[in-house]
């Protein structure tokens, strides 16, 4: 499925099979998770995609050939971080997520809305057994970037999660596993997401713009709505942390300094390191994280994206090429 230009529909196309270069593996795609970031690319909110482009950066695939790290037939996962230079000041200080020349899967490199794709083997992950392909796919961005956001939120017990989509449904389970109390903040009328959050162990779910039932120690914002930033700061106790987990957000409205005062921290989380991925993929089966997915055939990837946009989804959307 090819994106020719922002704000156009994905186009079903026959393209030449990708050819792996040195250190790259050719993969048969088994499943590819759909991420909110894909929508930001589609909508032109991330403005420098390679075009034409194959979207998709939560790829579960099987190695066909290429590289040295994996055997043919081995199952691997391909995340958003597709390549780094290894030499810039960020890479040299264990911050490859901030690499000046990083290439991202499904943005700078073709991704997984396809039957085949190519990936740099150094950035692929082995996937835990016990996760079918469909359930493994959302671990690769929703899961591991959500996990990075959770780590950066510190150890606070009372955790608010704003926006209860793919990342939240996974991270809620991890947070409960760590013994935290989870409060889920959604649109006031989104009773389906609120019920889903309660099923997954949140102790409260309600209106994101209303008052919280009690102060939070930390908040994760997964919805791309800037007005949630002052709302989350207002809900967070002194010394607390608010982490914005998305790659794009609407403008943040101005707010009184008082909301930040009291040593509250406001920060974003950007991309992932391979270490984040290794750590999260080891943790997921211990929780165990159960990802809920809604599957769509590859040629209906456009509809899958609109499902993510609508917020009507329960868990994560995954596209699957025809067998
Ligand atoms: Zn993503
Ligand atoms: Zn770098």
pLDDT of 311: 87
Rounded CA gap, 210 and 212, in Å? 7
The helix/strand/coil state of 30 is strand
Question: What ligand has the least distance to the C-alpha of 79?
Answer: 1
Average pLDDT, the chain: 97
Ligand 2 centroid–CA 141 distance in Å is: 20
Ligand 2 centroid–CA 156 distance in Å is: 32
Rounded CA gap, 55 and 57, in Å? 7
Rounded CA gap, 248 and 36, in Å? 9
Residue range 202-240, pLDDT digits in tens:
999 999 999 999 999 999 999 999 999 999 999 999 999
Using left for φ > 0, alpha for ψ between -120 and 50, and beta otherwise, residue 39 falls in alpha
DSSP for residue 61: E
Ligand 2 centroid–CA 92 distance in Å is: 7
**Residue 72 scores a pLDDT above 70:** yes
Greatest CA separation found in the chain? 58
Q: What angle do CA 184, 81, 173 make, to 5 degrees?
A: 25
pLDDT of 312: 87
Average pLDDT (89-111) is 98
Residue range 270-309, pLDDT digits in tens:
999 999 999 999 999 999 999 999 999 999 999 999 999 9
Question: pLDDT-based confidence at 323, cuts 50/70/90?
Answer: low
Ligand 1 centroid–CA 270 distance in Å is: 11
Question: pLDDT-based confidence at 134, cuts 50/70/90?
Answer: very high
Rounded CA gap, 77 and 100, in Å? 24
- Dihedral sign for Cα 176, 127, 38, 123, please: positive
Ligand 2 centroid–CA 288 distance in Å is: 33
Question: What ligand has the least distance to the C-alpha of 271?
Answer: 1
DSSP for residue 16: P
Question: What ligand has the least distance to the C-alpha of 93?
Answer: 2
């Amino acid at each position: 499925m090819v994106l020719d230009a922002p704000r156009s529909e994905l186009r079903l196309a026959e393209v030449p099979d990708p050819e792996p270069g040195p250190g790259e593996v050719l993969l048969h795609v088994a499943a590819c998770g759909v991420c909110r970031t894909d929508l930001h690319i589609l909508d032109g909110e991330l403005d420098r995609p390679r075009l034409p482009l194959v979207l998709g950066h939560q790829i579960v695939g099987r190695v066909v050939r290429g590289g040295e790290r994996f055997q043919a037939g081995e199952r691997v996962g391909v995340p958003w971080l597709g390549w780094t230079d290894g030499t810039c000041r960020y890479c040299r200080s264990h911050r490859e997520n901030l690499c000046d020349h990083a290439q991202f899967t499904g943005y700078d490199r073709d991704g997984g809305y396809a039957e085949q794709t190519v990936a740099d083997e150094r950035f692929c992950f082995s996937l835990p057994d016990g996760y079918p392909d469909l359930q493994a796919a959302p671990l690769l961005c929703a899961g591991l970037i959500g996990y990075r956001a959770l780590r950066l939120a510190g150890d606070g017990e009372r955790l608010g999660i704003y926006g209860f989509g793919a990342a939240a449904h996974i991270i809620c389970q991890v947070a409960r596993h760590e013994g935290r109390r989870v409060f889920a903040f959604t649109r006031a009328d989104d009773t389906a997401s609120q019920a889903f959050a309660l099923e997954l162990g949140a102790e409260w779910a309600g209106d994101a713009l209303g008052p919280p039932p009690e102060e939070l120690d930390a908040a994760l914002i997964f919805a791309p709505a800037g007005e949630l930033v002052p709302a989350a700061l207002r809900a967070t106790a002194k010394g607390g942390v608010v982490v914005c987990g998305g790659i794009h957000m609407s403008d943040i409205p101005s707010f009184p300094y008082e909301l930040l005062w009291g040593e509250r921290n406001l920060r974003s989380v950007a991309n992932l390191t391979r270490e984040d991925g290794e750590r999260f993929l080891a943790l997921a089966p211990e929780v165990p994280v159960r990802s809920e997915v809604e599957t769509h055939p590859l040629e209906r990837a456009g509809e899958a994206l609109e499902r993510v946009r609508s917020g009507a989804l329960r868990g994560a959307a995954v596209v699957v090429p025809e067998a």
